[in-house]
Amino acid sequence: MRELNGGVFGAKQISRRKAVPVIYVRGSHYEVGYDVGRSMGSLIQDLLSKFDVLKDLEKEYKTEAGQKAYDKTLANMKKRFPYYLKEMQGVADGASVPFYQLFLLQMDDIMGNINDNHVPRNDTGGCSSIAINNHVHTILGHTEDAFADTLNHFYIMSAHIIPTPEDREHGATEERFASLCYAGHLPGYTMGYNENGLVFSINTLSPLNLKPGKTPRTFITRKLLSAQNYNEAEKIILDEGLGIGNGFSVNMIWSDNWGRRQLFNVEVSPNLTADRSTVTVQKYDKDPLVHCNIYQHTNVTEVTGMIVDSSKARLKAIHAHPPPKNRRDIASIISDTTGEEYPVFSQEENAVIKTIAAGIFDLDKRTWSIYIEKPESSEPITVLPIRFSILENII
């Protein structure tokens, strides 16, 4: 290993980079996936090679119960979302990585706890979302928190999906969206928008009882990118006939043809008695929306451990601020580092969960500002336009 300008050239660990790759793609599901894999292949390969979470998933995959859960889930996704599997295959082919590894990442805790699903789990998480929709401003702020390995391993995908005739026969529709993506993961399970009027952020939730073989949350949030309105989004989340296998929360701002905006939080969990998701909805007309990685309006048994403890600590820190009224207030709140063990913006070098990026969606300006460092005291690394193509001729 040789020295270069006082540093170590070829060192495995790199500091927080002030960079976010953005890729613009158009084509069929497979074509778009292939171009993402080809363009972001080094990031994808690097993450897969060192991601401890994947190594744990592969251990479970090699067990009898793990193989059974994998096969059943894959078979159900082939029936429900074959076009998203083509998208994943495109990524795998473009990046020259195994498809099964990408699919394991989508299964996540469904696979990770397959052999001890009914004992308390020490899940981790750290995303925080704050939004306002008042008579002056409509703003959504979000910290994207993930395992430390994912730092510097993400990109923005701006896509125009044009389904093949075969994919249309299976339910695929034309899609225009932009989403932050962890390297090699499906778009949708972070933050972004679609051009039908949706702006969103996601919070991971951890119900105790999971349903192997059912729909992984990342497939549902991927499908949300195609939603044309709130009612369609709710139908996608309900996933009638199968239902979600794990849990998440989505914070949604919907704009319509008349310029009206509606703010919702939707919590989703497995339905243990029916083949559909359990869905609870909270609409916010005046009060700010605040959400972390804990169920706040759903009666469900959750895991114990870090994800719940962290959420409670972050909620306490957030509510210690005055209710946000504008963008500056939201930037300040999502930059909060007062929590010694569980800060809202996690940047400590030895933290298990780190804030890899933060986003502020300003619906008044139609911009999405992405930050690598605390929004309160730094410039955005990029500011992307929010394009609502279906509304442009009316609003």
Q: List pLDDT tens digits, range 261-315.
A: 999 999 999 999 999 999 999 999 989 999 999 999 999 999 988 899 999 999 9
4-50 per-position pLDDT tens digit:
343 433 445 668 889 999 999 999 999 999 999 999 999 999 999 99
The beta-strand segments (E) located in the chain are 2-4, 7-9, 22-27, 128-133, 138-147, 154-161, 175-182, 191-194, 198-205, 247-255, 261-270, 277-284, 289-291, 353-362, 367-371, 382-385
Per-residue model confidence as pLDDT tens digits over 215-227:
999 999 999 999 9
**What does the pLDDT read at residue 393?**
54
Q: Which DSSP symbol is given to 288?
A: P
Residue 244 has pLDDT above 70, yes or no: yes
Confidence of residue 120 (pLDDT cuts 50, 70, 90): low
Residue 140's alpha-carbon distances to 22, 144, 170, 217, in angstroms, are 21, 13, 34, 22
pLDDT at 11: 41
pLDDT at residue 305, as a whole number: 87
Rg of the chain, C-alpha, whole Å: 20
Confidence of residue 135 (pLDDT cuts 50, 70, 90): confident
Q: What is the mean pLDDT of the chain?
A: 92
Predicted local distance difference test score (pLDDT) of residue 8: 38
Q: Which two tokens stand for residue 320?
A: 């210690």
Separation of alpha carbons 124 and 307, rounded Å: 4
What is residue 389's predicted lDDT score, i.e. its pLDDT? Answer: 86
Q: What is the mean pLDDT of residues 170-193?
A: 97
CA torsion 256-248-202-53 (nearest 10°) is -150
Place of tokens 């063990």: 341
Q: What is the pLDDT of residues 6-15, one digit of tens each?
A: 343 344 566 8
Give the pLDDT of residue 250: 98
In this structure, are strands 367-371 and 154-161 parallel, antiparallel, or unpaired? unpaired
Residue 121 has pLDDT above 70, yes or no: no
* Token pair recorded at residue 49: 């090679």
The residue among 314, 303, 278, 324 whose CA lies nearest residue 132 is 324
pLDDT at residue 5, as a whole number: 42
DSSP SS3 for 150: helix
pLDDT tier at 3, thresholds 50, 70, 90 = very low
In this prediction, residue 138 carries a pLDDT of 97
Q: Please compute the mean of the pLDDT values over residues 326-342 and round it to a whole number.
A: 96
The tens digit of pLDDT for each residue in 53-68 reads 999 999 999 999 999 9
Instruction: Name residue 308's amino acid.
Output: V
